[in-house]
Structure 1
Amino acid sequence: MIQYEDVVLQDLDIDTLQQGCFLADKVFAFYFAYLTSTNKTDDVLLVEPTVSIWLARCDQAEASSYAESYKLSTKSLVLFVVNDRDPYCEGDDGTHWSTLVYHRSMNSFIHFDTMKGMNHSAAMKLYEAVKSYMGAGGQAAKLQASKKKKDKKKNARSVCKPSLDVPVTAVAGMPVFRESEDIQQQSNGYDCGLYVLAIAEFICHWFINEMNNIIQDDLVSAVVKEVVDHSVECQMRDKVLGIIRKVGNQKQPN
């Protein structure tokens, strides 16, 4: 057993990193917690599978409460994990993982599915459940960021002046749903979860580069070109297992 942050990995969870196995939910939770703690940015939120699946099923009041607690309306990027589990079944009956990313500056949800079309309906269900809680996106988000910068420059004399900024809500539209048509397709029926982990890792790094004004492709193009290829299937299991072992060794007493 290994504990990292609030995630407890049992041996059975770790065993799913063996070749040919579907990843356990706790492996996603561990890796998301690891990425969050090591990248140290509050502008990216990685939503683990059990929560993503619950959001697609829960009622409006519960979804609203989660959105407020985790400040979905303020995040620049939010990654959800999509699964094709029967929404009326409480068991682990799903057979495929995919990734749904909300990108605020694009005001879009982008679905990355490495088995094209298989999780479309599940992704749409999750999108419909959370889209109204994401806050201002696109041009509205840019205006909001610009306004924050202006506010920082105001001195005490200008505080009482009426604001001429366009209200953010006046230009905020509902985010749209997009399928990433060019995403690499997996070569087998069980490595889908590895692609989700690889995309999560990449968007954390991509966002840091964007904040540091490092020239790069847009998020969708970058994921397609730089992340999702068959090397994920060859390398990601060993990479995650190595991190788990490293964390486990750090927790051992001297």
Structure 2
Amino acid sequence: MESTSLDEKILSYNDVVLRRSDLDVLSGPYFLNDRIIEFYFSYLTSCYPFEGVLLVPPSITFWIKECPDIASLKDFVEPLYFSRKQLIIFPINDNADVTIAEGGSHWSLLAFDRNENIFVHHDSSGGINNMHANKVFRAVIYCMSSDARYVDYSLTPRQANGYDCGLYVTAIARQICRWYGSDERPKHAKDLWFSTVTEQIMPSLVGKMRNEILELVQSLMVK
């Protein structure tokens, strides 16, 4: 009975289904799962519906990273129209086992800016996901036939515990989307979104993200 209750569907949002167990993840100090990050990325897409912006779901990012036949990836990612996007955001998970659903123990974020032709890795644990982010980077530039460069941004704000990495991913993704939608954003700026992420992503703000996402889910359940 307990298992059935946890599997109960509580919300369908765009193409994302959340279950009762996801509320428990948001209610306590736990590692965010794929569904919650996919939900929040879908929510950001609704809030910032820019044609040139793509927030890639965790499951697709994972397959891009771990696909055993890189030559087949071009067909797989073709519907995503990477070549038409100005900004692409990928959630990076350190799971490397395709037989384990929602595995891994750390999240980070990889963002691509076409104006500067650069992939930037933001890791709240100081770059421990660098190898996994690099795998996504290499696979994507192969599919895009791109000569973009890769940077691990060392000034990414650091998490203060072992379970908030997913919240940093959601907070940084939101801040980058806000930066992209700002009227003050210059078309060519080497600083990109770096300053706003460094200045705005503080532990106090990230700490509130868990409850903020929980309240968002609950409000959408009521609607």
Global fold match (TM > 0.5): yes
Aligned to 1:141: none
Aligned to 1:243: 216
Does the CA-based 8 Å contact 1:73-1:133 persist in structure 2? Answer: no
Distance 2:124 2:142 in 1: 26
Unaligned runs of 5+ in 2: 1-9
Does the CA-based 8 Å contact 2:66-2:96 persist in structure 1? Answer: no
182 and 8 in structure 1: CA distance in 2 versus 1, 3 angstrom threshold: same
**What is the correspondence of 1:56-71 to structure 2 with a 5 Å cutoff?**
56-58=65-67, 59-71=69-81
182 and 12 in structure 1: CA distance in 2 versus 1, 3 angstrom threshold: same
Q: Percent identity?
A: 35
31 and 92 in structure 1: CA distance in 2 versus 1, 3 angstrom threshold: closer
Residue 185 (str. 1) matches residue 158 (str. 2): yes
Secondary structure of the corresponding residue to residue 26 of structure 2? coil
Secondary structure of the corresponding residue to residue 9 of structure 1? strand
Q: TM-score by structure 2 length?
A: 0.87
- Name which one, 1 or 2, has greater alpha-carbon Rg: 1
**What is the correspondence of 1:44-63 to structure 2 with a 5 Å cutoff?**
44-58=53-67, 59-63=69-73
Distance 1:62 1:22 in 2: 32
Deviates more, 1:74-83 or 1:13-22: 13-22
Residue 194 (str. 1) matches residue 167 (str. 2): yes
Distance 1:98 1:53 in 2: 12
Per the TM alignment, residue 110 of structure 1 is displaced from its structure 2 partner at its CA by 0.3
Aligned equivalent of 2:44, options 35, 49, 52: 35
Distance 2:98 2:79 in 1: 26
- C-alpha distance after superposition, 1:163-220 (max 9, x if no partner): xxxxxxxxxx6011101111111000000000111111112211111xx345696212
Secondary structure of the corresponding residue to residue 188 of structure 1? coil
Unaligned runs of 5+ in 1: 136-172
90 and 194 in structure 1: CA distance in 2 versus 1, 3 angstrom threshold: same
CA RMSD, 1 decimal: 1.8
| Count of aligned positions | 210
Aligned to 1:22: 31
